[in-house]
Amino acid sequence: MASDTLLPMNDLAGKHIVLGLSGGIACYKAAELCRALVKEGASVQVVMTEAAEQFITPVTLQALSNRTVYGSHNASGFDARESNGMPHINLSREADAILIAPASADFMAKLLHGRADDLLSLLCLARPLDKVPLLIAPAMNREMWAHPATQRNMTQLQADGTTIFGVGSGDQACGETGDGRMLEPLELLDDVIAFFQPKRLAGQHVLVTAGPTFEAIDPVRGITNLSSGKMGFAIARAAREAGAQVTLVAGPVHLSTPRGVARINVSSAQDMFAATVAHAQHATIFIATAAVADWRPASASSHKIKKDGSGATPQLAFVENPDILAAVAKSDRAQSGKLFCVGFAAESQNLLENSQAKRLKKNVPLLVGNIGPATFGQDDNALLLVTAHGVTELARDSKLRLARKLIASFPIPTGT
């Protein structure tokens, strides 16, 4: 399947989200969030407080959600349009999740104390706790966010089972700068998608290497490869979605860090080796996705190498780079079963034979083979999973979908 014919992700297909808006200037972001949720396959029912209607009209949200918006005219919690007159019951029972974005400091306090003086707070209180999760995206002034009362409320809401997404930092509508901004719509979309993913890596610490390395010849030139890092970044995102703590050691690539992932930027293979070995001491799963250069110039010139007009070419000598995967696989943690190692092989031919040989040479339980020229820089890939027990093919698909399938395929370490 070619890259341009891949099916869209639609990670929220079949999900019904009640999107609640409480009062705050961040309501303008709710319009884009609603659109993003719908685009990702969800059906969205918007419920607004009276204060929210001061910042954005129900008509806007109705157009984006293609559903009638429940607002201040339903403040009592009853509505003659409903067969039983009880939208707070019907809306909460139909939802796969209730997402409050923005959630003001006042509304969070209201939820904490179980107050239900408008439809949105009423349906949050009436939701079946074991079936309908409550997700909150706070939005407020930096002083309100930092206030002990808000922090206490947030702690108790989490203890009650509410999922609270983080806040952004930056310029605020009041003219001040700091924490408390509502996350951007696409950040919230990622968090909602991650919420619904199975948490089979909860409690695990996943270490991922991604991208190429750059081996300097002089200050302006070097040896690298065509790896874009997209596969490794997709794996890091999928691991975080699955509930893991994720550390990503990234070579020189121009990709945004996945939400919730700790990123360490490196350049050369030696830099990547040092960072990986250090963090492998605390990891339980290591996934070596990076296309590490096998060799580097024996010495790099301190100044740009210039042509002298004679036609003579620079004479470069090379030395072998350290083998990151092999070194980690030989570590005590890996040998004792406390660290599960996954290797990647980017081949140009004979994928099965080369992948099987590399798995044995590196002594890892799982080796993932792919054809480098067919995947470098692309958004899709096809993988070959090689273990001691056999071979599994993962057909061409988006790299994120493949990353999720890959994570679902290997056993979870039980050691610490």
CB 245 within 8 A of CB 205: yes
* Given the residues 27, 124, 174, 341, the one annotated as active site: 174
Closest to 190 in 3D by CA, of 107, 258, 286: 258
Taking Cα atoms as reference points, which of 244, 205, 204, 250 lies closest to residue 230?
250
- Helix, coil or strand: residue 369: strand
DSSP string, 38-56: HHTT-EEEEEE-TTGGGTS
Strands annotated E in 28-167: 43-48, 97-103, 134-138, 163-164
β-bridge pairing 390-398 and 380-387: antiparallel
C-alpha R_g of the chain:
26
Give the angle 267-271-277 at the CA atoms, nearest 5°: 135
Residues in Cβ contact with 313 at an 8 Å cutoff, skipping those fewer than 6 apart: none
Exposure class string for 49-81: b at 16+ Cβ within 10 A, else e: bebbbebbbbebbeebbeeebbbeebeebebee
174 is catalytic: yes
* Percentages of the chain per state (helix, strand, coil), in multiples of 5: 35, 25, 40
Q: How many helices and strands, by DSSP H and E, does the chain display?
A: 15, 19
The catalytic site residues sit at: 174
